[in-house]
């Protein structure tokens, strides 16, 4: 297994690559570049890099570094999947000093439950306690 070099140094992030990927996903289709930049600015970010290929993975955590964190925008580029990079990325996230001792660590996923379960995540025990505001068309309206 090739080792993924993981860094939280935002200056190493490839903003064009991150935006290019996120704007095509089901969870942030059409997201504007300035919104991606603001999200990065306000988050603890993890870039995953492979020698000779540059950045191939990304994740960000929105956190107060004391009680709560939310994992978002996790991806490995399609051509680099199946090499264990998502597991390495998750191990680095879960071991990060700012993310220890949290009361609640959340995420939303459509298709990666198995990956996250390996790191202690489970289906929300009492979903009736959770509430949300969701606007799936926000980026489409921003362009119009």
- pLDDT, residue 2, reads 81
Q: What is the pLDDT of residue 49?
A: 98
CATH of domain 5-143: 3.40.630.30
Q: Which helix (H) or strand (E) holds 45?
A: strand 44-50
Q: Are the CB atoms for 28 and 38 separated by under 8 Å?
A: no
Quickly count: other Cβ atoms within 10 Å of residue 50's Cβ. 17
Whole-prediction pTM value?
0.93
The tens-digit pLDDT sequence of the chain (144 residues) is 688 999 999 999 999 999 999 999 999 999 999 999 999 999 999 999 999 999 999 999 999 999 999 999 999 999 999 999 999 999 999 999 999 999 999 999 998 999 999 999 999 999 999 999 999 889 988 654
The sign one gets for the Cα dihedral 35, 140, 137, 30 is negative
Tell me, what's the pLDDT at 1? 64
Question: What pLDDT does 128 receive?
Answer: 94
- How confident is the model at residue 143, as a pLDDT? 58
């Amino acid at each position: 297994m090739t080792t993924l070099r993981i860094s939280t140094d935002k200056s190493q992030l490839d903003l064009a690559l991150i935006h290019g990927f996120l704007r095509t996903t089901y969870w942030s289709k059409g997201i504007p570049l300035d919104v991606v930049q603001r999200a990065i600015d306000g988050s603890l970010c993890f870039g995953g890099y492979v020698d000779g290929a540059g950045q191939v993975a990304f994740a960000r955590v929105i956190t107060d570094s004391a009680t709560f964190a939310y994992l978002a925008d996790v991806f490995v580029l399609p051509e680099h999947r199946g090499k264990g990079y998502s597991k390495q990325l998750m191990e680095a996230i879960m071991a990060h000093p700012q993310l220890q001792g949290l009361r609640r660590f959340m995420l939303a996923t459509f298709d990666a439950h198995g990956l996250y379960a390996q790191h202690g995540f489970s289906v929300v025990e009492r979903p009736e306690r959770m509430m949300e505001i969701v606007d799936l068309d926000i980026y489409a309206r921003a362009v119009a």
